[in-house]
């Protein structure tokens, strides 16, 4: 694009954004802290998913200092279900760093922001431009797609060199004023018009006159993406160990997936009742009764768990596990969603039992 085209592109995109921007809590009442938190929550996570978490989070941790002083387990409980739990740990760590190194104020430049845990190139650009007006790009998945179409890029956008090129193109069209709004406009366009799935709504696009893909009718061919790698498959057996209405849980250890979160006991591989009984006996536990549970499949981005399970009535607590009532588990422990299916099963069972109790009393 030449100079005049760029100015026209900027103008049309900004005008479109100001007329069509969606309402978001961190947009209506912005502050550097709120923008930072929202941007971290929005990493690989949809806006609609984030909003309720954001509201709860800000109510509980209204300032950098509150976050810095937070209890990690409580923080993870707040984060439960949002995924990518390192984000929460990094947020807390960064808050402590902001107190120590930046006098409690969110740093105002891309370079300083970039030194904080959990803030990479995208998030540093987003906070620097939106909160402080620094002229830096904020290139997320939306912007890669939009810019690939605008420039007619036929290369695989998953490749590093393609991304480098598209970041340079983005910087090239970045205005001197309203950078924050411009960056948000590119993302908003990608989320609502220049969409990733289905047919992009080019009829509604404010910059289609400057779009190479539209000019060549390649908007459904671009961006180019290589197909994803297959997920690793894992077979595991989950155990619901119950004793007097209390159930065994344990905290997942570092390193590895879901570390720091709670889970039901589980082991690698599939086993028969007898084998499970022997394993329990080895850890000094006696099974009084055992029933098989339905199979479940849990899909992560790079991994699949195929779960079998047994519900075991124990003679007494043991095995080094923590035992807690369902209510306590729900209220106090951050449990990975992979195990929520089995917890719900237990809940239904308890409710059915209560209902049955009601029947017999009648």
Binding-site ranges for DNA (CB under 7 A): 24, 27, 38-39, 42-49, 81-86, 90, 117-124, 126, 140-142, 145, 159-161, 184, 187-188, 190-191, 196-198, 225, 227-229, 232, 255-259, 261, 297-303, 336-338
Joined together, the tokens standing for residue 241 give 């160990």
User: Which residues are registered as beta bridge partners of 323?
Assistant: 248
- Between CA 216 and CA 221, with CA 219 as vertex, the angle to 5 degrees is 100
Which is closer to DNA, CB of 230 or CB of 282? 230
Comparison of 303 and 352: residue with beta carbon closer to DNA: 303
Q: Is residue 288 within 8 Å of 314, Cβ to Cβ?
A: yes
> What is the nearest approach in angstroms of DNA to the Cβ of residue 243?
26
- Residues 308, 301 contacting (CB under 8 angstroms): no
Min dist CB 181 to DNA, Å, is 10
Count of helices and strands (H, E) across the chain = 16, 7
Give how far Cα 359 sits from Cα of 141, 162, 352, Å.
56, 67, 11
Nearer Cβ to DNA, position 119 or 287? 119
Instruction: With CA atoms as reference, report the closest residue to 329 among 248, 240, 241, 243.
Output: 248
Is 328 an annotated catalytic residue?
no
Q: What count of other Cβ atoms lies within 10 Å of the Cβ of residue 186? A: 27
Q: How many CB atoms lie within 10 A of CB 185?
A: 24
DSSP 8-state symbol, 33: H
- In the complex, what is the shortest distance from the CB of residue 195 to DNA, in angstroms, rounded to a whole number? 9
For residue 258, the SS3 value is: coil
Catalytic member of 39, 80, 169, 188 = 39
Instruction: Select 75 or 287, whichever has its Cβ closest to DNA.
Output: 75
Of 19, 89, 33, 100, nearest to 334 (Cα)?
89
Shortest approach of DNA to residue 338 CB, angstroms? 5
Q: Least distance in Å: CB of 197 to DNA?
A: 5
Dihedrals φ, ψ of 132, to 5°? Answer: -130, 0
Cβ(309)–Cβ(335) below 8 Å: no
Please state whether the peptide bond connecting residue 223 to the residue before it is cis, i.e. omega within 30 degrees of 0: yes
User: What spatial distance separates the first Cα and last Cα of the chain, rounded to whole Å?
Assistant: 80
Q: Which is nearer to DNA, 38 or 237 (CB)?
A: 38
Q: Compute the least distance from the CB of residue 256 to DNA, in Å.
A: 4
Residues whose CB is less than 8 angstroms from the CB of residue 106 and which lie 6 or more positions away in sequence, other chains included = 32, 33, 36, 64, 98, 113, 127, 131
CB of 116 to DNA, least distance (A): 7
Residue (75 or 258) nearer to DNA, CB:
258
**Cα 53 from Cα 78, distance rounded (Å):** 8
Choose between 15 and 44: whose C-beta lies nearer to DNA: 44
By annotation, the residues acting in catalysis are 39
């Amino acid at each position: 694009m030449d100079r005049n085209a760029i100015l026209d592109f900027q103008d049309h995109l900004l005008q479109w954004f100001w007329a069509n921007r969606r309402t978001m809590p961190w947009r209506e009442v912005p502050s550097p802290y709120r923008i930072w938190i929202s941007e971290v929550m929005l990493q690989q996570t949809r806006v609609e998913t984030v909003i309720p978490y954001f509201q709860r989070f800000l109510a509980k941790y209204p300032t950098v200092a509150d976050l810095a002083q937070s209890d990690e387990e409580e923080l993870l409980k707040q984060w439960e279900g949002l995924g990518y739990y390192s984000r929460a740990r990094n947020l807390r760590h960064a808050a402590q760093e902001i107190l120590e190194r930046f006098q409690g104020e969110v740093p105002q430049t891309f370079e300083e922001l970039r030194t904080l845990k959990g803030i990479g190139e995208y998030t540093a650009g987003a906070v620097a431009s939106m909160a402080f007006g620094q002229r830096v790009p904020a290139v997320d998945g939306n912007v890669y797609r939009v810019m690939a179409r605008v420039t007619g890029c036929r290369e695989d956008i998953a490749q590093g060199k393609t991304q480098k090129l598209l970041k340079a193109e983005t910087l090239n069209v970045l205005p001197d004023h309203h950078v924050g709004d411009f960056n948000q406009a590119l993302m908003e366009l990608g989320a609502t018009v220049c969409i990733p799935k289905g047919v992009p709504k080019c009829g509604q696009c404010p910059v289609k006159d400057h779009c190479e893909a539209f000019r060549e009718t390649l908007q459904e061919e671009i961006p180019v993406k290589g197909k994803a790698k297959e997920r690793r498959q894992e077979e595991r057996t989950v155990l619901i160990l119950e004793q007097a209405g209390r159930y065994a849980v344990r905290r997942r250890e570092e390193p590895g997936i879901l570390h720091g979160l709670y889970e039901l006991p589980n082991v690698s591989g599939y086993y028969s009742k007898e084998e499970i009984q022997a394993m329990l006996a080895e850890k000094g536990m006696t099974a009084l009764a055992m029933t098989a549970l339905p199979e479940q499949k849990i899909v992560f981005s790079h991994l699949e768990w195929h779960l079998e399970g047994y519900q075991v009535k124990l003679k007494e607590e043991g095995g080094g596990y923590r035992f807690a009532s369902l209510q306590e588990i729900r209220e106090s422990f951050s449990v990975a969603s992979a195990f929520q299916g089995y917890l719900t099963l237990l809940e239904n069972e308890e409710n059915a039992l209560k209902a049955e109790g009601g029947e017999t009393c009648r």
